[in-house]
């Protein structure tokens, strides 16, 4: 799941490992020869995130835009391990009604999910299942779809007024749907949607037009704080209590906790998949 905080965490790791390193080779199916030649010999100069988008700039003036959607993954390997077949790809998961592990290959070079490989002397950067990998000579941040994105939740200058202005243009939309609209606010996905509404104590099925000024204030002050907390805590949205074990159940307030007890009031966490386009989790007591 690639939401703003997780995307930024990935970008940080890529920058720390690859920035300033000379690129010896790049492997990408049907790649434009001119662009490939311009990347080889250049360096990864900078990397920025825009909501759920990653934009990499190479020193030769080439840009790469990536959106991982639900399936994309980036991994960084030691060059020696990669060359000797010791770099192991992520575990494969087959999604049906329940996720099940499928047979995994042991050499990343033979993995069918591999989409992009960037090779330097010391490190190898690999992208799996990347549904959107676009190379260009123009900055993607100045073009669609990034150009039309709403204020970025993780931006230090997050514009609350602009975000609220965009929100008010869709008064009949449910707040749980509005938070997923990247043209209103960028960076929020299904996990943070449910967590934000729980922490802000807002009923997820309330229309925008029904939000009162206090709820709007709490919401727009809470959004950047919650996403920054997730960024600083590797995707966690709930702090661990003393002597509490770190597990999926203890990472979040309501997300994927349907049927479990609310951490605050002990009511049963509910989930909904018919009224909203994406599964919504909430506490019927705390979010009245």
- Read off the pTM: 0.91
The percent helix, strand, coil of the chain (3-state, each to 5) is: 30, 25, 45
Number of helical H runs and strand E runs in the chain: 8, 12
Q: Tell the CATH superfamily of the 4-147 domain.
A: MutM-like, N-terminal (3.20.190.10)
Of 154, 128, 144, 140, the C-alpha closest to 55 is 140
- Average pLDDT along the chain, 288 residues, taken 10 residues at a time: 91 97 96 96 97 98 95 96 95 63 79 96 95 96 96 93 95 96 96 98 97 96 96 95 88 96 97 88 96
What does the alpha-carbon distance between residue 65 and residue 125 come to, in Å, rounded to a whole number? Answer: 15
Looking at residue 250, its pLDDT comes to 94
Helix (H, G, I), strand (E, B) or coil at 48: strand
Please say whether the beta carbons of 253 and 263 come within 8 A.
yes
Token digits of residue 162: 């602009």
Residue 212 phi/psi, 5-degree rounding, is -90, 165
The answer to whether the CB of 107 falls within 8 A of the CB of 126 is no
Residue 233: its pLDDT value, please?
Answer: 95
Note the pLDDT of residue 257: 96
62: nearest Cα among 90, 106, 31: 31
Q: What are phi and psi of 94, to 5 degrees?
A: -100, 120
Domain boundaries, given as residue ranges, for the chain:
4-147, 150-282
What is the pLDDT at residue 97?
52
pLDDT at 79: 98
**Architecture (CATH level 2) of domain 150-282:** Orthogonal Bundle (1.10)
The pLDDT value recorded for residue 288 is: 85
In a 13 Å sphere around the CA of 59, the CA atoms on its Cβ side amount to 12
């Amino acid at each position: 799941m690639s939401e703003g905080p997780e995307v930024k965490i990935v970008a940080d790791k890529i920058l720390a490992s690859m920035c300033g390193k000379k690129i010896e080779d790049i492997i990408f199916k049907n790649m434009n020869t001119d662009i490939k030649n311009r990347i080889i010999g250049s360096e990864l100069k900078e990397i920025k995130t825009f909501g759920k988008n990653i934009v990499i700039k190479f020193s030769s003036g080439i840009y790469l835009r990536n959106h991982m959607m639900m399936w994309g993954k980036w991994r960084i390997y030691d060059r020696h391990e990669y060359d000797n077949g010791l770099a192991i790809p992520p575990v494969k998961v087959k999604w049906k009604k329940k996720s099940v592990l499928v047979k995994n290959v042991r050499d990343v070079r033979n993995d069918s999910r591999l989409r992009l490989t960037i090779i330097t002397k010391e490190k190898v950067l690999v992208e799996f299942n990347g549904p959107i990998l676009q190379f260009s000579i123009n900055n993607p941040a100045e073009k669609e779809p990034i150009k039309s994105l709403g204020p970025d939740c993780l931006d230090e200058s997050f514009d609350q007024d602009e975000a609220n202005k965009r929100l008010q243009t869709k008064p009949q939309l449910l707040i749980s749907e509005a938070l997923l609209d990247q043209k209103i606010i960028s960076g929020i996905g299904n996990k943070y949607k449910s967590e934000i509404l729980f922490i802000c104590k807002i009923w997820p099925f309330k229309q925008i037009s029904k939000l009162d000024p206090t709820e709007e204030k709490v919401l727009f002050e809470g959004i950047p704080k919650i996403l920054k907390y997730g960024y600083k805590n590797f995707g966690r949205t709930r702090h661990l209590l003393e002597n509490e074990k770190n597990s999926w159940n203890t990472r979040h307030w309501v997300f994927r906790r349907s049927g479990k007890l609310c951490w605050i009031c002990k009511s049963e966490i509910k989930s909904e998949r018919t009224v909203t386009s994406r599964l919504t989790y909430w506490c019927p007591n705390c979010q009245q």
